[in-house]
A and B are shown apart, each in its own frame.
Chain A
Amino acid sequence: KAGVTQTPRYLIKTRGQQVTLSCSPISGHRSVSWYQQTPGQGLQFLFEYFSETQRNKGNFPGRFSGRQFSNSRSEMNVSTLELGDSALYLCASSPRDRVDEQYFGPGTRLTVT
Chain B
Amino acid sequence: EVVMTQSPLSLPVTLGQPASISCTSSQGLVHSDGNTYLNWFQQRPGQSPRRLLYQVSKRDSEVPDRFSGSGSGTDFTLKISRVEAEDVGVYYCMQGTDWPPITFGQGTRLEI
Partners in one complex: no
Interface residues of B (CB under 8 A from A): none
Interface residues of A (CB under 8 A from B): none
